[in-house]
Amino acid sequence: MKRPLLITLALILGFTTTQAQQDSLMLRKIYDEALVNGQSYQNLRYLCKNIGGRLSGSANAQKAVEWGKKLMEGYGFDKVFLQEVMVPHWERGAKEVGYIINGSKKIPVKLCALGMAVATPPQGITASVIEVHSLAELATLGEKAIKGKIVFFNRPFDPRFIQTLAAYGTAGDQRRAGPSAAAKYGAVGVIVRSLTESNDDYPHTGATLYTDDAPKIPAAALSVKAANQLSALLKSHPVKFYFKQNCRQLPDALSYNVIGEMTGSEHPNRFITFGGHLDSWDLAEGAHDDGTGVIQGLEALRVLKATGYRPKNSLRAVFFMNEENGDRGGLKYAELGDKNKEEHIAAIESDLGGFTPRGFSFDGPSTVQMQSINHNWKKLLEPYDADKLIVGGSGSDIEPLRKYYPKAALIGFLPDSQRYFDVHHTPNDVFENVNKRELELGAAAIASLVYLIDMRGI
Amino acid sequence: MKRPLLITLALILGFTTTQAQQDSLMLRKIYDEALVNGQSYQNLRYLCKNIGGRLSGSANAQKAVEWGKKLMEGYGFDKVFLQEVMVPHWERGAKEVGYIINGSKKIPVKLCALGMAVATPPQGITASVIEVHSLAELATLGEKAIKGKIVFFNRPFDPRFIQTLAAYGTAGDQRRAGPSAAAKYGAVGVIVRSLTESNDDYPHTGATLYTDDAPKIPAAALSVKAANQLSALLKSHPVKFYFKQNCRQLPDALSYNVIGEMTGSEHPNRFITFGGHLDSWDLAEGAHDDGTGVIQGLEALRVLKATGYRPKNSLRAVFFMNEENGDRGGLKYAELGDKNKEEHIAAIESDLGGFTPRGFSFDGPSTVQMQSINHNWKKLLEPYDADKLIVGGSGSDIEPLRKYYPKAALIGFLPDSQRYFDVHHTPNDVFENVNKRELELGAAAIASLVYLIDMRGI
């Protein structure tokens, strides 16, 4: 029995070594193509500079759809198509105005309406300010303290989190749930400290979620500098605040997911999806959020094609529409997958900025699967510094797949997180803040993982 | 025999677990202090904005020495002192001028003298240009082709290297050895493509090393855009080039290493050194090169002190002088260590920019030591994304320790390398290009490793 076992082992080991060598060579090819002939940077420049901010329902979002489709067609993928999706259509309107009323002094501050928020009356809102640091504190204060006031949510980012996304997660309830929570106690408006650790003067927008059990009251984000200034004044005496915003909710608009596909040679109806969201907030160019994500998805498909790779499964680069204020594109993509009887085995989302890659976060596989992922792929990704393979979240655009595909691997691309909330949802999310090599390395990391999943299964 | 062995094992395991818990808690303390009460960012701002560029021998370098000493004294370390060191004193003089002479057209280009280079004659140099891509190609062309010409070294950074330092290493011979090599064949001047992948208009300075067997000829760095422009023109027809630079070598000047120390409670004469170099090139503020390195060393010592930690060995934050054009401070530090009969067990250098930490590179330990380092410390550093512990180089300031301390661990701090050569030695190496959290995380990573070496040995 010993000899055959050893021979079998040798065969297995030999086979494994050959596979590892083949994979290693393929990854090197992918990285060479992305770094030497990369098109991601020039594509991102076009999206940011020639189209710009592209909130769902806007003329710019439509331009981005048309540009994306044309670009994909130019790359000669097997299929390029659009998926219709009705999206919310919110507009900011004229630029917001706000100031602190400190006795007879008016101190102008930088602020912007939260996404999906309602407008103030045309003359704006003036009211006393009450500062709170959590939804729990708000509840403790109650209607007596809150009624008729502007509630100022001012809990800062906790700098102790190493991953900034964790700080965003714990501070974010103020923006998402704060306005409706305050409205229940009779507040007339809400201002929220911007969700960042950066001590600057950019207001950070982002969607707020009104609930049906409270009146919709105007809500805006204050820059961190403005929040600190207001809080300092409130420590010595009561102050009032004025703001005026002009946003409006229009009827839902027709828009699209944009999809490029290389059809699988063995399993044409089995899909691996990767990409990000095409829509962005309106304050800047949506460079890191999420221009880099869509561009990296596209580049991953272009790079795989350029290496001459013929996928076993169908590979799809998807530009999802409406992640920022509705997630409609992601929901539609999953619904249509089910309706069209597609089999989805994996999806990778890049929506944490185009920063230097760290690795990938796998949503929900058992420990055993994670061990196997780490065992098989960590060493291959290590030379590229993209070998942090952990259990965690994936991304809002691909999460809806879970409902129809409980066994699919949903994966989030993990760039380094330190600089993301310096630019996230601000007027500073511009092309100039994206580094060419960081962007390219991310595209190559995604292409590598797509190849490994396609070739070796997951 | 079985029972005692098991008991022994249990004791060892119990002890190890306790140690690991203690270390884990200490690292958390270190990071909290650096992220919540960090002083690195404000200290770097002062160095960059109130002092600025500080080339060895300059008035600014002296200001930086005095500022550093005072700052350390303010932190109440056990000892703060200077080490005298004579340093080269090279000055750039008036801003350089250069242009491509394309027929009757003069096309101005961005260039700067290489560090330690000689001046042109007052009227500048005009000559035909010959483009080469390597020292080998230069040798093949020989005197006949080179004599009387300006040699244009134009080998670009190889983008395929994942670590940009490797690209710098392979392209760098053009700047370091190119001028003397060209002079041997009768060249009258040398212009070198800037050492970066970034397609921008910044010239990158840096020291050139004249050899004694060739005349010293003027040598300058061209921006990448200028190099591309010149190369494109040369493809169709011969062109001439003009440049004028005004640099000069003054007599050596007295300067200093600046040292802050927490004296060891058990082994006061046994040292762990960490820091970077205080001198910088003159074109900007020396932010990433190497303001962040000295500041991180200082912050590491401040953080350890602030946590109440009492080191076993003596810990030294060192601001080395003259890394850029002489390494005299590092040489002096090692010499004095030997002369004063100090025992040096480890040194950590931060001189690859203040970017998001990846880990550390250990110079020369055997595989067994590396396995033990990874086994003991990788898990502790993993939550902080600073767990890439590899064999590799350390840094020019601490390398001279090897001569006297063959067993010392010489360690390089490894930040992410993607953005370094966008700013390295350019007018763009300014405070604004340093991210606060990235800087702080680096200081905390260094403090953590210092603690582990001090507490657990290496």
Same domain, A34 and A156: no
Give the confidence band of A231 by pLDDT, cuts at 50, 70, 90: very high
pLDDT tens figures, A140-166: 999 999 999 999 999 999 999 999 999
Point out the residue among B32, B197, B422 whose CB comes nearest to the CB of A160.
Answer: B32
Structural domain contains residue B18: no
Structural domain contains residue A278: yes
Measuring CA to CA, which residue among A431, A98, A65, A114 is closest to residue A284?
A431
**Percentage of chain A with pLDDT > 70?**
96
Domain count for chain B, please give it. Answer: 2
Parent domain of B391:
27-90+251-456
Q: Which residue has the tokens 């067994």?
A: B368
Strands (E), A41-184: 79-91, 97-102, 105-108, 111-113, 125-132, 150-153
Residues of A in contact with B441 (CB under 8 A): 162, 418
Active-site residue flag, B343: no
Residues of A in contact with B32 (CB under 8 A): 160
Mutate to test the interface with B, among A39, A157, A418, A424 (most CBs of B within 10 A): A418
pLDDT over 50 at A226, yes or no:
yes
- Are A442 and A357 in contact by the 8 Å Cβ rule? The answer is yes
Domain final residue pick, B198, B217, B246: B246
Domain final residue pick, B200, B221, B246: B246
Structural domain contains residue B211: yes
CA-nearest residue to B37 within chain A is: A159
Give the model's pLDDT for residue B281: 98
∠A171-A176-A179 over CA atoms, to 5°? 110
Same domain, B334 and B426: yes
**Maximum pairwise Cα distance, chain A:** 95
Tell me the two tokens of residue A56.
């769902």
Supply the CATH number for residue A365's domain: 3.40.630.10
Same domain, A54 and A194: no
Same domain, A297 and A431: yes
CA-nearest residue to A384 within chain B is: B162
The alpha carbon of residue B444 is apart from the nearest alpha carbon of chain A, in Å, by 11
Measuring CA to CA, which residue among B162, B168, B193 is closest to residue B178?
B193
Same domain, B312 and B436: yes
Structural domain contains residue A19: no
Distance, CA of B208 to CA of B117 (rounded, Å) = 7
- Are B397 and B336 in contact by the 8 Å Cβ rule? The answer is no
Strand B343-349 relative to strand B313-320: parallel, antiparallel, unpaired?
A: unpaired
Give the confidence band of A124 by pLDDT, cuts at 50, 70, 90: very high
Chain centre to alpha carbon of residue A295: 13
3-state secondary structure of A255: strand
Same domain, A113 and A154: yes
pLDDT tens figures, B35-82: 999 999 999 999 999 999 999 999 999 999 999 999 999 999 999 999
Same domain, A206 and A295: no
A159–B198: do the CB atoms touch at under 8 Å? Answer: no
The residues of chain B scoring below 50 in pLDDT are 1-2
Q: Which residue has the tokens 């212009």?
A: B191
The alpha carbon of residue B44 is apart from the nearest alpha carbon of chain A, in Å, by 16
Same domain, B120 and B236: yes
Counting one residue from A and one from B, how many pairs have CB atoms under 8 Å apart? 60
When pLDDT is averaged across residues A393-420 and rounded to a whole number, the result is 97
Point out the residue among A36, A162, A164 whose CB comes nearest to the CB of B383.
Answer: A162
Give the model's pLDDT for residue B384: 98
SS (H, E, C) chain B: CHHHHHHHHHHHHHHHHHHHHHHHHHHHHHHHHHHHCCCHHHHHHHHHHHHCCCCCCCHHHHHHHHHHHHHHHHCCCCEEEEEEEEEEEEECCCCCEEEEEECCEEEECCEEECECCCCCCCCCEEEEEEEECCHHHHHHHHHHHHCCCEEEECCCCCCCCCCHHHHHHHHCHHHHHHHHHHHHCCCCEEEEECCCCCCCCCCCCCECCCCCCCCCCCEEEECHHHHHHHHHHHHHCCCEEEEECCCEEEEEEEEEEEEEEECCCCEEEEEEEEEEECCCCCCCCCHHHHHHHHHHHHHHHHHHHHCCCCCCEEEEEEEECCCCCCCHHHHHHHHHHHHCCCEEEEEEECCCCCCCEEEEEEECCCHHHHHHHHHHHHHHHHHHCCCEEEECCCCCCCCCHHHHCCCCEEEEEEECCCCHHHHCCCCCCCHHHCCHHHHHHHHHHHHHHHHHHHHHCC
pLDDT tens figures, A282-334: 999 999 999 999 999 999 999 999 999 999 999 999 999 999 999 999 999 99
Give the confidence band of A367 by pLDDT, cuts at 50, 70, 90: low
Residues of A tagged active-site? 323
pLDDT over 50 at A255, yes or no:
yes
Structural domain contains residue B281: yes
For residue B358, give Cα distances in angstroms to A159, A358, A416, B128, B413.
19, 9, 10, 46, 8
Distance, CA of B31 to CA of B444 (rounded, Å) = 5
Tell me the two tokens of residue A353.
């900025």
When pLDDT is averaged across residues A324-345 and rounded to a whole number, the result is 98
Give the model's pLDDT for residue B1: 42
Give the confidence band of A268 by pLDDT, cuts at 50, 70, 90: very high
Q: Give CB contacts under 8 A, 24+ apart, made by A36-42.
A: A36/B159, A36/B160, A37/A306, A38/A299, A38/A436, A38/A440, A38/A443, A39/A299, A39/A302, A40/A295, A40/A296, A40/A298, A40/A299, A40/A439, A40/A440, A40/A443, A41/A434, A41/A436, A41/A439, A41/A440
When pLDDT is averaged across residues A57-63 and rounded to a whole number, the result is 98
Distance, CA of A78 to CA of A261 (rounded, Å) = 6
Point out the residue among A197, A384, A437 whose CB comes nearest to the CB of B437.
Answer: A197
Same domain, B162 and B86: no
Give the confidence band of A452 by pLDDT, cuts at 50, 70, 90: very high
When pLDDT is averaged across residues A131-138 and rounded to a whole number, the result is 98
pLDDT over 90 at A369, yes or no:
no
What residues does B257 pair with on adjacent strands? B83
When pLDDT is averaged across residues A338-342 and rounded to a whole number, the result is 98
B438–A419: do the CB atoms touch at under 8 Å? Answer: yes
Dihedral angle of Cα A44, A50, A53, A56, to the nearest 10 degrees = -90
User: ipTM value of the model?
Assistant: 0.94
Structural domain contains residue A408: yes
When pLDDT is averaged across residues A112-130 and rounded to a whole number, the result is 98
A159–B437: do the CB atoms touch at under 8 Å? Answer: yes
Same domain, A327 and A375: yes
Same domain, B194 and B338: no
Structural domain contains residue A3: no
Residues of B in contact with A436 (CB under 8 A): 197-198
Residues of A in contact with B422 (CB under 8 A): 435
The alpha carbon of residue B395 is apart from the nearest alpha carbon of chain A, in Å, by 21
When pLDDT is averaged across residues A53-80 and rounded to a whole number, the result is 98
Point out the residue among A384, A385, A419 whose CB comes nearest to the CB of B435.
Answer: A419
Mutate to test the interface with A, among B288, B385, B432, B435 (most CBs of A within 10 A): B385
- Are B219 and B191 in contact by the 8 Å Cβ rule? The answer is yes
Distance, CA of B399 to CA of B320 (rounded, Å) = 12
Structural domain contains residue A364: yes
The alpha carbon of residue B290 is apart from the nearest alpha carbon of chain A, in Å, by 20
Q: Which residue has the tokens 């260590």?
A: B337
Distance, CA of B149 to CA of B184 (rounded, Å) = 12
Give the model's pLDDT for residue A104: 95
When pLDDT is averaged across residues A92-107 and rounded to a whole number, the result is 97
Q: B231 CB contacts (<8 Å, ≥6 apart)?
A: B131, B152, B154
Distance, CA of A220 to CA of A99 (rounded, Å) = 12
Give the model's pLDDT for residue B181: 98
Distance, CA of B263 to CA of B86 (rounded, Å) = 27
Give the model's pLDDT for residue A400: 98
Point out the residue among B384, B388, B422 whose CB comes nearest to the CB of A162.
Answer: B384
Give the model's pLDDT for residue B372: 83
Q: Which residue has the tokens 């008016």?
A: A106
Supply the CATH number for residue A173's domain: 3.50.30.30
Taking any CB pair shorter than 8 Å as contact, residues of chain A touching chain B are 31-32, 35-36, 159-160, 162, 164, 197-198, 356, 358, 383-385, 388, 416, 418-419, 422, 435-438, 441
Same domain, B36 and B176: no
Give the model's pLDDT for residue A1: 43
The alpha carbon of residue A374 is apart from the nearest alpha carbon of chain B, in Å, by 15
B416–A356: do the CB atoms touch at under 8 Å? Answer: yes
Tell me the two tokens of residue A167.
């700080």
Domain final residue pick, B224, B246, B268: B246
A159–B35: do the CB atoms touch at under 8 Å? Answer: yes
Residues of A in contact with B437 (CB under 8 A): 159, 164, 197, 418-419
